[in-house]
Amino acid sequence: MAANVRTSLVVLNDLFSNEVTYGPVQQHSFMNWLCEIRIKGQPFSGSGSTAQEAKCSAAEKALNFYYQTLIGAPVSSGTVAASVLAKFMSVAKPNDLLRVIMSHKVVAGIVRIDDYKPREHQVICISSGNKCIALDRLSVGGDAIYDCHAEVLARRCFQRYLLQQLVKFARGTPSIYESEPNGRSYVRVQQRYKFHMYINKEPCGDADLGQSIAHPNSAHGGKLRAKLDAGEGVHPTEFVNATQGGRLRTMSCSDKILRWNVLGLQGAMLTHYIRPVYLESLHLGILNLNVFHIQRALVGRLDGFQAAPPFCTKSLSIQEAIPSNVLSGGSPSVDISMNWCTGDTDDVEIVNANTGKIHETLWPTSSRSSQTVSRLSKKELCRSFLNLLSLRVPASGLTHRAATAATYDDIKRQSVQYQTTSRSLTDFFAARGMGVWIKKDKVVDRFPLNGL
Ligand SMILES: [Zn+2]
């Protein structure tokens, strides 16, 4: 019996423990058994060469029915949300991850739409998770992921995609990039390609707070907020630092998305090569979404900020998407996080959100490799960056030799335009009374690139 069939029965019992009833298993002929399962009164029948196989077959049919509920709409509807959810199911199902993903509370994905082929949506990445690592797990080698919230990991996956495409560009093969036409050596994403994000709920922080509390006229309205390790909830960042009280604080997803609308998704390191890459739209899987409230939190809080070129203040479009009632019903905070990136075959990776490394039980290294560091870790991104430097010198002039003598923090600091705009934004937030932008101690990023 296939492992995923056995799992179906377990998952079904977990999901519908009080609502599932098993009918009698009957022998229809010498080698054919029949079984009926009812969920909320709806029958699903299965058959097999043994009683157990018949039972599992019925369970599989029931689960398939509820996968369709999860997707919630025909994929042909061509929406960003439908594309992400359909891909999510297709990569998770063969990997026997049903029980894992059903318990996930937050799922995010990024879709590329080509202006020349607007009906074709390419899903770039998918991720899930809603937890950060504890302070004692903080690593100085770049090998642990601190923030496993789904939208943050989707951005990491996207950076991986941008790097993969840059390697193609450097080798002269088709990619999303083109050279800047003014003769400088910067590279930019061709205008025909647009990127859109889906999240099945509001990002944590200002967008996720009650409208009365988050309103600009409220005492707490529009404040920057940080999430605490190993728990839920966000707190204003005024008067605290990243590690105060023995708890690790990381900026909320609402605040991070707000910042991406100025600095782009590519991060400081890739700004050595490419012009900023922005999200065009954010699709939230919430019924009766208050677009005005979300727009205020993720875009409106930048009103009055002037970004110096090549950066700008992107007006992210907020859109209501398909609600996913199964995904949003999970436990408050899950220890596991999954990610999938296009270009990495069709394999998913499972990360333990407590350690920020590969989940050794759910994703045993013995069956794959001895690698415990996630492909989304800073260490792995730096390794890909070094590989790229060996192929092409970026516009900043940073050479492979200089990079191997530097630390990750040095590489980021040398991205001068990025750092200048980042500081201006932090000053703007402070001047508006929104609070401080919490940063981890720089020591965590002072790991050498040599030897990666
Ligand atoms: Zn979050």
Average confidence (pLDDT) over 83-87 = 83
Ligand 1 centroid, distance to 106 Cα (angstroms): 8
Q: DSSP characters for 159-188?
A: HHHHHHHHHHHHTTS--SEEE-TTS-S-EE
The confidence band for 420, taking pLDDT boundaries of 50, 70 and 90, is very high
Distance 129 CA to ligand 1 centre (A): 8
Q: Is the pLDDT of residue 392 over 50?
A: yes
pLDDT over threshold 50, residue 195? yes
Is residue 34 pLDDT above 80, yes or no? yes
CB 357 within 8 A of CB 351: yes
For the segment 378-388, what is each residue's pLDDT rounded down to a tens digit?
999 999 999 99
Q: Let me know if 423 is exposed, middle or buried by CB neighbors in 10 A (0-12, 13-18, 19+).
A: exposed
CA of 148 to the centre of ligand 1 (A): 8
Calculate mean pLDDT across residues 365-370: 52
3-state secondary structure of 18: coil
pLDDT in tens, 289-301: 899 999 999 999 9
Output the CA 154–ligand 1 centroid distance in Å: 11
Most trustworthy range by pLDDT among 26-40, 79-93, 186-200, 367-381: 186-200
For 254-272, what is the mean pLDDT?
97
- Residue 137: CB partners within 8 Å, gap ≥ 6? 144, 354, 355, 356
Give the Å distance between the CA of 253 and the centre of ligand 1: 4
* Percent share of the chain, pLDDT over 70: 79
Supply the pLDDT for residue 16. Answer: 66
Does this model's pTM top 0.85?
A: no
402 C-alpha to center of ligand 1: Å?
Answer: 36
Cα-to-centroid distance, 128 and ligand 1 (Å): 10
Averaged pLDDT for residues 187-196: 96
Spacing, Cα 164 to ligand 1 middle (Å)? 26
Q: What is the pLDDT of residue 217?
A: 63
Strands 193-199 and 281-284: parallel
Determine the pLDDT at residue 440. 78
Question: Of 23-32, 36-45, 49-58, 428-437, which range is least confident?
Answer: 23-32
234 CA distance to ligand 1 middle (Å): 9
| Cα 254 to middle of ligand 1, angstroms | 7
Strand-strand pairing, 225-228 and 193-199: unpaired
* pLDDT greater than 70 at residue 367: no
Centre of ligand 1 to C-alpha 448, Å, is 29
Alpha-carbon span 140 to 146, nearest angstrom = 11
Does residue 78 have a pLDDT over 60?
Answer: no
Is the predicted pLDDT of residue 366 greater than 50, yes or no?
A: no
**CATH class of the domain whose range is 3-67:** alpha beta
Distance 252 CA to ligand 1 centre (A): 6
Q: Cβ–Cβ contacts within 10 Å for residue 432, how many? A: 17
235 alpha carbon to ligand 1 midpoint, in Å?
Answer: 12
- Is residue 198 over pLDDT 90? yes
The more confidently predicted of residues 342 and 74 is 342
* Cα–Cα distance, 123 to 264 (Å, whole number): 19
Q: How far is the CA of 270 from the centre of ligand 1 (A)?
A: 24
Quote the pLDDT of residue 87: 83
Q: Are 193 and 417 in contact (CB under 8 A)?
A: no
State in Å: Cα 322 to ligand 1 middle. Answer: 19
Q: Residue 39 above 50 pLDDT?
A: yes
Greatest C-alpha distance within the chain: 80
* Ranges of each domain in the chain: 3-67, 73-445
Q: Mean pLDDT over all residues of the chain? A: 83
CA of 130 to the centre of ligand 1 (A): 6
Q: How is residue 173 written in tokens?
A: 């093969």
Q: How far apart are CA 276 and CA 181, in angstroms?
A: 16
pLDDT over 70 at 365, yes or no: no
SS (H, E, C) 132-166: ECCHHHCCCCCCCCCECCHHHHHHHHHHHHHHHHH
| Residue 2 pLDDT exceeds 50 | no
